[in-house]
Each structure stands twice: as C-alpha cells, then as structure tokens.
Amino acid sequence: MSDRRIGLIGLGLMGNPMGHNLLKAGYELTVYNRTQSKTAELAAAGARVAGSPADCARDVDVVISCVSDSPDVEAIALGSAGIIEALRSGMLYIDMSTIAPAVSRRIYDRFKLLGCSALDAPVSGGDIGAKAGTLSIMVGGDGEAFDRALPILQVLGKNIVHIGDAGAGQVTKACNQIVVALTVQAVAEALTLAKKSGVDPGKVREALLGGFGQSRVMEVHGAKMLEGNFAPGFKLDLFRKDMNLVLQTARELGLPLMGSHQVVPLMDALIAGGGGDRDFISVLALYEKLAHLE
C-alpha cells in the first residue's frame, strides 16, 4: 500500500486543521463528520466527502479518527456502518481521540483478527498545535504499525513518541491531562494570590518564568489568563470528560489520585455556571470571584 489515501473522521476543533495539513502534504483525503456541514471547508479544499464511517474507509489505506469520547470511537470503529464493515487486510487505523485505554485495546484486538493494524494516538497541543502541525502525539500499538504511521503523524505533530502496546497512548494522555489540569489550577491560584496581595500578577508571572515555577502552562495559559481570554483551545466539557477517564482508569487500578479528585469539582462548578464551552483557564475567574476581586 502507498498509504497516500487517508480517511479522516471527526472534523471539529482538532480534526479540521489536521485535515488541511494532510491535504497540504499531498495526501488524498476522504472525510466524514456526523454534522455534514462541517465537511464543507475541507471539501472546498479538495477532500471527498463520505456518507458514513464505512464509506470513509472503503477506498483508503489509512483511517484516522478524532472524535469526542469512547462511545463515539466504538460506534465509528465497530458499529453499524462503521469502519469494520469496510476493512481490508493490511489497512491501518489511527485513533487520535482521547478515550479509555480499554476501548483502544478492544478495537486493536478486533481489527487484528481481520488482518488490520490499530494505533491509539491521542494528542496534546490544542487547536494551536493542530493548525501549526506541532501536536505532541502519544502512540500505543505495534512497533511495525507505528513505523508505518510515522510519516503521516509527522505531518500532524512534532513530538511523536511510541509509548508501548495498545492502550499505552491513552494512558499517557491521561497522565498529560493530570499534569495540565493541576498546573492550570496552580497558576490560577498563584495569580489570584498575587492580585489579592496588591502585587502585579503580570510581573509575578514574569518572575516565575525564570525559575522552577516555569512551565508551558504558565507561559501560554498564564498570559491568556492575565488577558481574561478564556476562548477554548480545548473546551472544558471535553477536559472534564478526560478527567473522568483519568479517575475511571485509577479506580480500575485501585489507585488514589488525590489531586485529580480535588480539581474535578472546580471543573464541575464552571460547567454548572455555563462555562463548558470555555477553556479551563477560566478557573481564574472563579478564584477571583471567591477572592472578591471581580
């Protein structure tokens, strides 16, 4: 197989720019999205529009999916009119969604029985990384399948790591979400403490960027917090779903994750207040409200 024909399922905040990057790299692209209007932009750029996941997989060598949650991926991969109905021996499936590791392993096993490879390859980097083709990609699955997928993944990301067997990519993404969630909370608390103390939070951030308090979250999200720019690079509704996967996986392992359990109620409070479409960095506004700094 030449692997020049790719099917892409899921054209949201991440999938749409990923599709544009694949087209720019010269791949023949077929796309499917449950809400068909979201296919228009890529269709205008030269992609073929499919009528179902099975149709999207029928005449391609590689299928990529990037959708919201475990049930969506299972339906796309294994359900009625799903990818499995159009599989041919030797095809490659790359799921770039964030889902439960157990679901990734189940799809891997089903596809392997049919002579096809499956990789779980969740990403980090938000819509900025998707547009720039600089996503961090964490991959689980067979080494041979990873080597085959690498040229495609290099169009979409820069930091691409083969973690281990099927499901390992999803475990890594869960670890990533723990670090991001708790760091966002820490940055919001630090900036609120500075402001409540009458100290310029912008200068506090500048100072912390030169020491052990430095992080990508402090650098990028800290700047957006100070601007009051809570537009989503990644919607809070989806982040909350990811944290549910973290806690679900921890429960299966009998592992107490106190920090993760503590940050989730902050997310729930923001969502209950109508902030599910904003970024989690909007937690700064919640802290400022509690501190009577509004």
Q: Domains of the chain: which residue ranges?
A: 5-164, 171-290
Instruction: Tell me the residue ranges of DSSP E strands in the chain.
Output: 5-9, 28-32, 48-49, 62-65, 92-95, 117-120, 123-124, 135-140, 157-164
Mean pLDDT of 109-124: 97
Q: From residue 216, give the alpha-carbon distance in Å to each of 36, 143, 167, 180, 190.
A: 35, 30, 26, 9, 15
Asked whether the predicted pLDDT for residue 212 surpasses 70, the reply is yes
Give tens-digit pLDDT for 53-101: 999 999 999 999 999 999 999 999 999 999 999 999 999 999 999 999 9
Does the domain formed by 5-164 have CATH 3.40.50.720?
yes
**Tokens read off for 157:** 């990301």
* Dist. CA 31–CA 77, nearest whole Å: 15
Residue 191 confidence (pLDDT) above 80: yes
pTM of the entire predicted model = 0.92
- Taking residue 227's Cβ as centre, other Cβ atoms within 10 Å add up to 9
- Provide the percentage of residues in the chain whose pLDDT is more than 90: 96
- Apex CA 155: angle with CA 229 and CA 243, to 5°? 45
CB 123 within 8 A of CB 136: yes
Residues with Cβ within 8 Å of residue 287, at least 6 apart in sequence: 188, 189, 192
For the segment 248-276, the average pLDDT, to the nearest whole number, is 97
> How far is the C-alpha of 159 from the C-alpha of 291, rounded, in Å?
39
pLDDT in tens, 142-167: 999 999 999 999 999 999 999 999 99
Which pLDDT value is given to residue 2?
73
Q: Which of 106, 108, 97 is nearest to 68 (CA)?
A: 97
Q: Which residues are within 8 A (CB) of 275 and not within 5 positions of it... i.e. 6 or more apart?
A: 230, 236, 282
- Could you identify the residue written with the tokens 């996986």? 249
How far is C-alpha 1 from the chain's CA centre?
A: 28
Confidence of residue 28 (pLDDT cuts 50, 70, 90): very high
Average pLDDT over residues 227-244: 94
Q: pLDDT value at position 294?
A: 73
171-290 is classed in which CATH architecture?
A: Orthogonal Bundle (1.10)
* Cα dihedral across residues 146, 247, 68, 287: positive or negative: negative
Of 158, 173, 203, 235, the catalytic one is: 173
pLDDT over 90 at 204, yes or no: yes
Distance between CA 53 and CA 44 in Å, rounded?
A: 20
Q: CA-based Rg of the chain, rounded to a whole angstrom?
A: 20
Question: Mean pLDDT throughout 272-293?
Answer: 97
Instruction: For residue 173, indicate whether it is catalytic.
Output: yes
Please count the other Cβ atoms lying within 10 Å of the Cβ belonging to residue 272. Answer: 9
What average pLDDT does range 234-262 have in this prediction?
Answer: 96
Residues 6 or more apart in contact with residue 30 via CB below 8 angstroms: 5, 6, 7, 8, 47, 48, 49, 50, 56, 59, 60
* Res 1: pLDDT: 47
